[in-house]
Amino acid sequence: MVILLKRAYETPEQNDGFRILVDRIWPRGVSKDFAHIDFWAKDVTPSTSLRKWFSHDPLKWDEFKRRYINELDDNPKAVEEFIKYLQHDRVTFVFGAKDTLHTHAIILKEYIENKIN
């Protein structure tokens, strides 16, 4: 299985495979018709308090990553449920953040790849 990352504002493509929105809130200005989301994975996204604390500040990235991984570790049932949706050759984690280098989707991808390999 291949996991790809893509912003919600990018045009969906056939080779995206199964598209999973990995944000707790729907991306602003993106219609459901445009997004072509197959599953919305709210339960494995950063908590509201963690998301607000991070506020996309690159200086907080390392601590954000540590805290987010702790949240995932503390919620094994949600992670197990999420993994059930990954039974496709190609999966795309869709996210809304502008900063593609400091998004929780990167952390989630790495975390899940470590779990399933």
On whether the pTM is more than 0.85, the answer is yes
Per-residue pLDDT of the chain (117 residues; tens, 9 = 90+): 899 999 999 999 999 999 999 999 999 999 999 999 999 999 999 999 999 999 999 999 999 999 999 999 999 999 999 999 999 999 999 999 999 999 999 999 999 999 998
Residue 30: per-residue pLDDT: 96
Burial of 104 (0-12, 13-18, 19+ CB in 10 A): buried
Whether the CB-CB separation of 6 and 109 falls below 8 Å is answered with no
Residue 117: per-residue pLDDT: 80
